[in-house]
Structure 1
Amino acid sequence: MSESRVEQAIRAAKVDRKGALVGYLPASFPDLDTSVEAAIALARNGADVLEIGVPYSDPVMDGLVIQEATQTALAGGFKLTHLFEVVRRVTMEVDTPVLVMTYWNPVAQYGVERFAQDLAAAGGAGLITPDITPDSAAEWIEVSKRVGLDRVFLAAPTSTPERLRMISENSTGFVYTVSTMGITGERAELDAAARGLTESLREAGSALACVGIGISNADHVSTTLDYADGAIVGTAFVKALRDGGVEKLSQVVREIAAGTNR
């Protein structure tokens, strides 16, 4: 089976540097046009894979900074059709693959087939789905295979070996490896559980594992890439965009991306 664009981008980063930087921003924050500009800046300043979040009213996995950003987007009138506009406009400007991070309810409400077709038509690469597991995602697995979209499932430190095998077998692009139990946000130190979980995923057959939750600076990225294929950064980028606009975001992305260098 040929590699997806996401897999190709991560492997290229591992050849050129220590590994990949995956950067998250919510769609339509602080507004639609700025979110497009910000995502393009993320790609042009060092992100190997983009992760565009769907603003959601009940973001159980997100820390306060991201929650506030998504609430701003919702208050500004975000609709799911805006997501596809953001993805389309970003992919027209940069070659960096764009994954969508979404809770499952918006996809189910929109219609799984319709969502997949619209995402693919916009140039999107696939979905990261934090609140659905492979054993309850039969329709999404079938549709994504047919449409050609990546399925990024999450693995947590509490996952059993059997569940890690199931996640590894059904994920494409990479497995989203949760560094700590809890919500997203910056941590002073990364949990050693991430290293052990990544090793367990390798044993379970996972080809590529990217670690997220708590990664907020170049040192964190560098340490993570000692054992993982990619480092996922969200809160630090959202905070930079909130506090200093696209210019500040670009600066912070360059600083954090330095952690991918050998």
Structure 2
Amino acid sequence: MTGTRIDRRFAKTKAENRPAFVSFVMAGDPDEATADAILAGLPSAGADIIELGMPFSDPMADGVAIQLAGQRALAAGMSLRKTIDTVARFRRNDDETPIVLMGYYNPIYIYGVEKFLADAVAAGVDGLIVVDLPAEEDEELCLPALAAGLNFIRLTTPTTDNKRLATVLKNTSGFVYYVSMTGITGAEIKNRTAVGEAVSRIKGHTNLPVAVGFGIKTPEDAALIGRGADGVVVGSALVSAVADSLVDGKPQPGTAEAVHSCVRKLAEGAKRARS
């Protein structure tokens, strides 16, 4: 099968009549070694696609749980260079699971766009989600990323009307990430029917898969959202599992397993979406 890792993975989950389970974890949280163990075990726990957070000191779209995850990672010495190295280590044992780097433009700008893209591709990164770069700034990162062979995944929200949607989708590739609510990560979805309607509307404008994130906390949430979506994205619940496992701020022998257990339950919920 041709195409990118992301294309192949969505083709696989579609053939299995289920949504892809997309897991978000923060690079370097709570420390580099534990984060590596968490990352390595995600595919076998049920993650079809991995979003790997790039820690940043001012994450404006993130709720408390993900903000704290980023702070723990930065305090432990994580950097963008080390985040890319994390992907390279993961790729030594897994050449199939797609990895998408998610975060903000500032660290990439400081790193240098050309160098960042070259290093990311060399490490085995598949795509980027950069939440604070609008479509009007595509020349800044999106177009160079596409030219380098990376998918550039856009966020759409409940306030993205059809006119704006056309602009947002213009250079989007890989999949479309529908943010299920206005506000920050970690909040609760109040109207699941509206989410389904929004996914259907987006699908009327693109052939790309549509994954839904923000507010999916339980297996039941994953099953309900996965009925209409091509993917369900979970982040806050997973970084909260990290936080809850810590003792005096330090990782424990069961920290990685706490995350993997959470992934298994949520991924099983997603599999029930269309049964």
Shorter-chain TM-score above 0.5: yes
AA at the equivalent of 2:262: V
Q: Secondary structure of the residue that 2:170 maps to in structure 1?
A: helix
Q: Secondary structure of the residue that 1:138 maps to in structure 2?
A: coil
1:73 equivalent in structure 2:
73
Quote how far apart the aligned CAs of 1:134 are. 1.8
Greater mean deviation of Cα atoms: 168-177 or 189-198: 189-198
AA at the equivalent of 2:269: G
CA contact (8 A) 1:168 1:201 kept: no
CA contact (8 A) 2:56 2:104 kept: yes
1:217 equivalent in structure 2:
218
Q: CA RMSD in A?
A: 1.5
Identity among equivalent positions (%) equals: 34
Q: How does 1:62-101 map to 2 (within 5 A)?
A: 62-94=62-94, 95-101=96-102
Distance 1:138 1:3 in 2: 24
TM-score of the aligned structures, taking structure 2 as reference length? 0.90
1:26 equivalent in structure 2:
26
Task: Tell me whether 1:259 sits opposite 2:269 in the alignment.
Answer: yes
Quote how far apart the aligned CAs of 1:141 are. 2.7
Change (3 A) 1:190 1:121: farther
Q: How does 1:97-112 map to 2 (within 5 A)?
A: 97-112=98-113
Q: How does 1:139-150 map to 2 (within 5 A)?
A: 139-150=140-151
Change (3 A) 1:15 1:59: same
Distance 2:191 2:116 in 1: 35
Distance 1:74 1:214 in 2: 25
CA contact (8 A) 2:178 2:210 kept: yes
Distance 1:204 1:133 in 2: 19
Change (3 A) 1:14 1:115: same
CA contact (8 A) 1:174 1:208 kept: yes
2:6 equivalent in structure 1:
6
Q: Secondary structure of the residue that 1:93 maps to in structure 2?
A: coil
Quote how far apart the aligned CAs of 1:162 are. 1.7
Distance 2:268 2:30 in 1: 26
Change (3 A) 1:184 1:14: same
1:248 equivalent among 258, 261, 265: 258
Change (3 A) 1:183 1:191: farther
2:251 equivalent in structure 1:
none
Distance 2:186 2:130 in 1: 18
Distance 2:67 2:240 in 1: 11
Quote how far apart the aligned CAs of 1:11 are. 2.1
Task: Tell me whether 1:44 sits opposite 2:44 in the alignment.
Answer: yes
Quote how far apart the aligned CAs of 1:189 are. 4.7
4+ residue segments displaced more than 4 Å: 188-191
Quote how far apart the aligned CAs of 1:225 are. 1.4
2:118 equivalent in structure 1:
117
CA contact (8 A) 2:192 2:225 kept: no
Greater mean deviation of Cα atoms: 229-238 or 178-187: 178-187
Structure 1: gaps (5+ residues): none
AA at the equivalent of 1:34: T
CA contact (8 A) 1:63 1:184 kept: yes
Distance 2:41 2:58 in 1: 28
Quote how far apart the aligned CAs of 1:3 are. 3.0
Task: Tell me whether 1:176 sits opposite 2:186 in the alignment.
Answer: no
Distance 1:111 1:200 in 2: 37
Structure 2: gaps (5+ residues): 246-254
TM-score of the aligned structures, taking structure 1 as reference length? 0.94
Greater mean deviation of Cα atoms: 50-59 or 199-208: 199-208
1:131 equivalent in structure 2:
132
Distance 2:176 2:15 in 1: 19
AA at the equivalent of 2:143: E
Distance 2:130 2:239 in 1: 20
Deviations 1:75-102 (A, max 9, x none): 1222211111111111222221110001
